[in-house]
Structure 1
Amino acid sequence: MCTVKIRFATIILYGVFLSGCIPSDKPVSPFAMTNELVVITIAHADNFHIDSEGNFSGITYDLVNEFAAEIGLEIRFIVMPRLELALAALKQHRAHFAIGLDIPDQYTYRFILGPVYLHTHHQIAFNAGSSEPTDIQQLIGKLIEVPVGSTHENLLQKMKVKIPGLAWSAVPQSSELLLTKLEKGEIDYTVADSLHIKKANHFHHRVKGAFELDVSASRWIFPKYTEKLLIDKVNEFFERIKQEGVLGQLLDSYSGPYYQLSPGDIYFFKKKIHSRLPALKKYFMQAARITGIDWRLLAALAYQESHWNQRAKSPTGVSGIMMLTRETARRMGIDNLADTRMNILGGARYLKLLKEKLPENVPEPDRTWMALAAYNQGYGRVIDARALARRFNLNPDLWIDLKKMLPLLNKQHYAEEIKYGHARGDEAVTLTNSVRAYYEILKRATTED
């Protein structure tokens, strides 16, 4: 992903300044004459996150960053405390466009709406220690908190018109923090994006999603009289990233791992992080220093292969914590598969070899995900899947396309036409997605430690 210089300005948020100064009330320079792209958002927007140090993340941020890099402009973000203030500022042309806003239907005629790139499902989140609510009436009288000024607050305000007894607190906290409070039992419910709830469940096993309130479309919003040049550039940008698979790649990077693991998978993995991983961590870190691969990725792969069981064996002849064949171990310079340290090093060397064998034009992180698939089914199977991707006019260098092709290796029709023949390609996809999910949990767990 390209990077550009970013400036950060903010309106007063809850009585304090985060950084910068109050932005000018004057309209921004026309797009054709500006040296910066000015973008408005709100403090707790969906898919656009700002941490306490002013760092940005999220798919919406990545898209703006990519667009600014493409047109060669710096970015200046203006963060407003509430939706209505953001829309008022945009109407006054104080930014070139806005992101992360769920514009009410009655206001759409005042603006130009960009292409839809994501649908957000707004869902009630609850603590599994209590009963799951099945309708909005069951929320009356409960302690509900949502981020102030967010899409979720606006959604509840709409529902209150029909359900006057519905009440909640709008607080200056992100959905991520509120889901943590939900896990601890400090609140009864919150409203969040269904993906955020699924992601939170990887770290907080009591957080669950109940019924869905609404679905909103994520897209950039422009002032009504925006220059045609900017609108055309944006439309061309979204058309390109859709055709080249960049948009799908971004969506996969944020949502891909979070639908693979069951609650039971997560529960037992987190238990073994405390019971088994401490004794193995030094071996993973040593292998990481030798190969340059993140030790947490190696640990995630080892867990998927053996659940960190040093004595693991399979009927097919693979064994040890990384489940290596004797032939692979020999090629990696490992002569004792029962030695945990050497087994981990052998698996790390093999994964590095697979990554290096892939064509140079395969980018990261796709290169790593393809190497994981090859670790499971062999490098030749990845080559076969790449050939099928080309046949179906897909991009063989992107994991989001390759993972569609790997299951076809199971089918006799395709197996007869490819170089290396039949394979359980669906298992390679399952392994890769599971390792990615375990890897995310490990990154979060080790950061917290």
Structure 2
Amino acid sequence: MRFIISLPQRSPARGLLFALATLMLLLATGCYHSPYKSKARAPIPCDSSVVSALINKDSLRVATVSSSTSYFIYKDEQLGYEYELAKLLAKTLGKAMKVVVAPNTAALFQMLDSALVDLVITPQAVTVSAQKHYLFCGPEEISGQVLVQRNDKGLQVKSVTDLIGKKVTVMARSRFADRLQHLSKEVGGGIDSVIISDEALSAEDLIGKVVDHSIDYTFADEQIARIARTYYHNIDISVNVGFGQRLRWVVRKDNECLAKWVDKWAEAASHNLAYKKIWRRYFEMGKDELDDLTGPQRPRIDMPPGRISKYDLAFSILSKHHSFGYPWQLLAAIAYHESRFNHGASAWSGARGLMGIMPRTGQRHGATVDQLMDPEVSIRVAIFCLKAFRAEFPDIADEEERLCFTLAAYNAGPGHIADARRLAAKHGKNPNVWENNVETYVKLKKEPQYYNDPVCKHGYLRGTETVRYVRNVLDTYKKYLPIKNKNF
């Protein structure tokens, strides 16, 4: 398997300020050690239970950064490929897992050096210099850059030499721009480089531009490209454009016992069904709302005039009973985009049932995972959630605006929307207006310089999907609103 972790980077000024603040704090507590200069300690003796290798015998403490691959929060659930692998490791160890989210890579090593965490799970490059100070362990990944192109037969290239005479679009001052420059020299010139300096755009945005035919080719980290392929089905990422690099988890040099145990676990886990399910969840399962659902297949039912779905009566009765505050057709529109009216649906994220409720959310409202497959339970929990989310925005007087924010919170979780509102205010936009204001910063929450901003509390979000979700639900709601069944 080949894939890559994309590590967040701060702007130089903000990064310097954070580094100075962190240094002062850690010096004050007497626990700072520079990255790659880990203080020598006596080796920790190994035993069969590996408990002696942990900071706290009751838990495994791991450090990570917020990103699309390592760790993120979605609908108030903790998710991420590396995060779920680490949970699997902790479960095998028989320990609880505690996660510490660092703002950048340097902070990861500071936490590790200071014995605040046992293990760094954001994979790091295995280099000669790093191996002098740290032990690398766990799943081994190979990082690299790939060409992102559409599956169009006329445009598809099979090797880097086929790029001669083609336009490749990358971001300015990025490793992709450097690689494109070197690659053009390697093939004897002739690759038409298009360098974009718009800081509001990212590699993920450029992948989207390939999809919508705005550009033909771009470069991306392989793992980001793998995830993008689960959203977009018309891209090809098979052509490598950079040399691969080994990436692994990291422990302190003195903690050889834990490193050996993690290696042993990883070797066995790679053949484990749970491990394979995690891989499939993040890198194979479709995440577009049209195809990210699994569950019992339901034959298409053609509804008579004046009907939206077979759940119309339940939408109407439950919305009145629980004083929903919106027409019942809004529930129908949400159900369409969450499950296509399939009460047995399960999404890649873990959202279940007719209204796409996350297990933890259901639990907070008194519903078990199995009960979420009951249409009436799902509708009831969705009403409770929507009412709670609407109450999160008492300062938004305009009801149409408030509905946009409520739907965004339903899709991404209210924490991310609160982050985007704070970002909007900070950058001179209106935090009470969705279109071209808060929605802009919802989309930008996939960029490290935004989700690592001090005003943000909830990290990475693939906000483009949230913005699309709000737009699609509102469009469907407007189509459904005139439908009023006379039977109720």
TM bracket, shorter-chain basis: 0.3 to 0.5
Q: In proportion to residue count, which structure has more helix?
A: 1
- Higher normalized contact order (CA 8 Å, seq sep 6+, divided by chain length): 2
- TM-score (ref. length: structure 2): 0.41
- TM-score (ref. length: structure 1): 0.44
